[in-house]
Amino acid sequence: MPPKRKRSSVDTAQSRGEMPPPSPPKRRASTRNSASAATVNPDVSGEVIDAPNAARASPSKEINEEIVPSLVKQENGTTGESPLSDAPDVIEAPPKKRGRPKKASVEEQVKGIENAIDTVVQEAADDAAQPKKGKGGKKLVKQEVKQEDTEAQATTSTAAPATAAPKKKKGSNDEPADPEADEDEEADEEEVKEALSRPPPVNSDYLPLPWKGRLGYACLNTYLRMSNPPVFSSRTCRIQSILEHRHPLQDPTQPEHPTKNRPDRNKPADVELGKRYVEALCLANVKDIIKMVRWNDRYGIKFFRLSSEMFPFASHPEYGYKLAPFASEALAEAGKVIAELGHRVTTHPGQFTQLGSPRSSVIDNAVRDLEYHDELLSLLKLPEQQDKDAVMILHMGGVFEGKAETLQRFRENYAKMPQGVKDRLVLENDDVSWTVHDLLPICEELNIPFVLDYHHHNIMFDSSQIREGTADIVELYPRIKATWDRKGITQKMHYSEPTPAAITGRQRRKHNPRVATLPPCAVDMDLMIEAKDKEQAVFELMRIFKLPGYDTFNDVIPYTRNDDNKAADAAAKKKARTKKKAADEEEEQPAQQLIPDDEVGMGGPEGRVYWPPGMEEWLRPKKKEVKKKEPGEKTAAQIKKEKTQAEKLYAAREAEKAGANGVSTAEGADSDVDATPATKKAKAAMKKKEQAKAAKTATATTESAPPKSSAKKTKVKKEAPMPSPPSEESEEPEEPELDDEDDEEPVVPAKRSAAGGRRAGGRKAKQAVSYNEDDAEMDEE
């Protein structure tokens, strides 16, 4: 078993002088010398990244890679019970490679198989030593795994993904991987048979119409995330970035720049500087909450889940911090807007926050995380009822040593919680271990509200008491509502749907990007839609059922945003580069009107904020399609250059030919470079013909000089040999052959003799015509 990998402390890193190299920036910094823009904008600084949970349909589900660019993942994997216990770093996901993945080496495959066999043998030994049965006769699998085994499995899965772990049977709760992380999930044959043999769900036909409740979504607004500048509340960073920003900038008098003005690690570190760096991210997240709430209110959405990652590493055991006093004023300002608009906000701590674990370190981390969420909601300073409704939803988590033992530990740890945490804590059924019938009794016992998740219920339910679907769960509505009424909190529910292609339980856990119907809940319910398309899933329901607010938004224009100043900024920069123009010319070009900051990203006057399913790319400018260059293929510039050179060479050759044939420079200049040799020859013949015609006209107008060629032609008529008689068939007269050589004199046709009263016959006329030049010369002599 490989030894546990320990993370080096801050003092060790500083003493060695070894700091992790900064990540390369995503793009060049903006020309605006704004310190905040260079720090909190992920499009400018490569160190500012998206927190992973905010982009998920729910905290325990997968990231929507189509919505959020430069997605992140935790370096130590997701197998541990708490990522806070060993200070996980967040790293950028590597770019996807096309083609099949490389196969692991033989040594890696053997190592992976050995580790997998050891794990299965250990689990079998634990199950044999402590046999347990749950309701319905299904065995419950122990979820607790030692940290050393977890890290070994994570390392093995990275080295040899094809042989890291064997397939698990349905109902196994010790799977380290998220079933929704892989889109091409292959189900086991037994799982498919069992899934196909299950009875069909029995759903209620009741629809809560007319709708009077509040629809909401979780954490991230896809439209605002893609605005310019981006608006979202889940900016985070790496711990290495915090440590690096403890060093002063190379030039403290200038704002930070990703390449030109970085922290100087040769200067002494100051913890306060690193703290300011994190606080800048936190305050930017809080500021964007105000914009997101106002955006929601404009389009009829009055329910929103705040991101748990609004304050990066706030509950960390080593790098954690309190939100007050640095964020008190900003949160109070956000709470004021929420109160004025009458919205409801909630939070949902992650899947690692568990109060039923037997490990004290996990409990300590969970307590810190819950206290952080309570402080966040309390600093909003909401009115009494809105403050009560600002709850924290929590899953029971894994099953450790049996459900009864896990519930008992939960009772003991819950009793030790601060009163503020108790007032806000709400339990939710999940899709792995805990059903409605498991959690509803303890909620009634400890006076904890219970939130029903329909999607989880249809996957994980007690088949001995209830059927799959929404028809039978309606009978438990009065008991569920009573858990809320006893504490004076407005009830809420969660709704989502599986993907259409899902068959097995693991496949059905994957959330569909949007939902198609409403659950059979009360008409005034606060319903959280947990879908990957976030606010677009709410818009979809509004359009389907004509819910209040459906007429406030319209479809986006593909690849176009009319609610930002990107075009105006580009025009201003272009104008600045052309300051040498005359003043009157500058006045003729009216400056493009800027959109106020409050209206940037709000959809414009037409409310164009809805993108159809699958059209996430419409939110971004259209990418230029670059044709992949084949090996040895020439570029467009090379082809153009070669064509130009060939045209010049061809023109030079034609000029040489024209000079050799006596064609003047003017005639060569008039010739077409792109013409073929035959075309050029025909054009030259036509010019000769025109010259002959001009000479004929000039001869006819001259009366004093008798035509030379007249006598000449007469003599030719007498002594010319008789041509062969024409055939009976009518033949067209032959045209003279075109020749490039210049004639000495233009041919002038002979005039009709004055003595001849009548024209000679055709045969006689043909005998008088001769085209032999030698005969003509003899006649002249």
Q: 141 with 172: CB under 8 angstroms?
A: yes
Structure tokens at 314: 């706030």
Q: What local confidence, expressed as pLDDT, does residue 93 receive?
A: 44
**Is pLDDT of 654 > 70?**
yes
Which has more confidence, 501 or 23?
Answer: 501
Distance CA 51, CA 306 (A): 13
Single-letter code of the amino acid located at 422: K
Q: 435 with 429: CB under 8 angstroms?
A: yes
Which has more confidence, 636 or 89?
Answer: 636
Taking residues 742-757, report their average pLDDT.
Answer: 47
Q: Please give the torsion angle defined by the CA atoms of residues 184, 190, 191 and 194, in that order, rounded to the nearest 10 degrees.
A: 140
**Is pLDDT of 9 > 50?**
no
Which phi and psi (to 5°) does residue 74 adopt? -85, 135
The closest alpha carbon to 388, from 413, 422, 361, 439, belongs to 422
Single-letter code of the amino acid located at 587: E
pLDDT digits (tens, 9 = 90+) for 490-516: 999 999 999 988 888 888 989 999 999
Distance CA 216, CA 538 (A): 7
Distance CA 737, CA 82 (A): 98
**Is pLDDT of 202 > 90?**
yes
Q: What local confidence, expressed as pLDDT, does residue 576 receive?
A: 67
Structure tokens at 637: 């510039």
Binning pLDDT at 50, 70 and 90, where does residue 716 land? Answer: very low
Is there a cis peptide before residue 229, judged by omega within 30 degrees of 0? yes
Distance CA 235, CA 278 (A): 10
Distance CA 619, CA 557 (A): 9
Q: 347 with 377: CB under 8 angstroms?
A: yes
DSSP H or E run through 649? helix 636-660
Which has more confidence, 149 or 463?
Answer: 463
Q: How many residues does the chain have?
A: 781
Q: Is the dihedral of CA 21, 26, 32, 35 positive or negative?
A: negative
Query: What would you report as the CA-atom Rg of the chain, rounded to the nearest whole angstrom?
Result: 43
Which has more confidence, 489 or 780?
Answer: 489
- Eight-class DSSP state of 680: H
Distance CA 98, CA 75 (A): 23
Q: 509 with 179: CB under 8 angstroms?
A: yes
**Is pLDDT of 162 > 60?**
no
Taking residues 13-27, report their average pLDDT.
Answer: 46
Which phi and psi (to 5°) does residue 147 adopt? -65, -35
Query: What value does the mean pLDDT of the chain take?
Result: 75
Binning pLDDT at 50, 70 and 90, where does residue 639 land? Answer: confident
The winner for highest mean pLDDT among 102-116, 124-138, 183-197, 311-325 is 311-325
Query: What's the helix, strand, coil split of the chain in %, to 5?
Result: 40, 5, 50
CA 184, distance to chain mean position in Å, is: 20
Residues 6+ apart with CB under 8 A from 212: 523, 524
**Is pLDDT of 664 > 50?**
yes
DSSP bridge pairs for 49: 236
pLDDT digits (tens, 9 = 90+) for 217-260: 999 999 999 998 999 999 999 999 999 999 999 998 988 888 88
The closest alpha carbon to 471, from 454, 459, 493, belongs to 454
Distance CA 66, CA 74 (A): 19
Binning pLDDT at 50, 70 and 90, where does residue 595 land? Answer: confident
Q: Is residue 528 classed as helix, strand or coil in its secondary structure?
A: strand
Distance CA 170, CA 187 (A): 9
Binning pLDDT at 50, 70 and 90, where does residue 447 land? Answer: very high
CATH number of the domain located at residue range(s) 10-76+199-554+613-619 in this protein: 3.20.20.150
DSSP H or E run through 610? strand 608-610
Taking residues 124-131, report their average pLDDT.
Answer: 53
Binning pLDDT at 50, 70 and 90, where does residue 367 land? Answer: very high
Q: 402 with 410: CB under 8 angstroms?
A: no
**Is pLDDT of 67 > 50?**
no
**Is pLDDT of 136 > 60?**
no
**Is pLDDT of 545 > 80?**
yes
Q: 169 with 188: CB under 8 angstroms?
A: yes
pLDDT digits (tens, 9 = 90+) for 459-471: 999 999 999 999 9
Q: What local confidence, expressed as pLDDT, does residue 412 receive?
A: 96
What are the CB-based long-range contacts (under 8 Å, 24+) for 382-388? 382/335, 382/338, 382/339, 383/339, 385/488, 385/490, 386/338, 386/339, 386/342, 386/344, 388/423, 388/487, 388/488, 388/489, 388/490
Q: 363 with 355: CB under 8 angstroms?
A: yes
Burial, 399: exposed, middle or buried (Cβ in 10 Å; 0-12, 13-18, 19+)?
Answer: buried
DSSP H or E run through 259? none
Q: Is the dihedral of CA 363, 367, 372, 376 positive or negative?
A: positive
Structure tokens at 614: 């699958």
Domain coordinates in residue numbering, the chain:
10-76+199-554+613-619, 566-599, 708-718+763-781
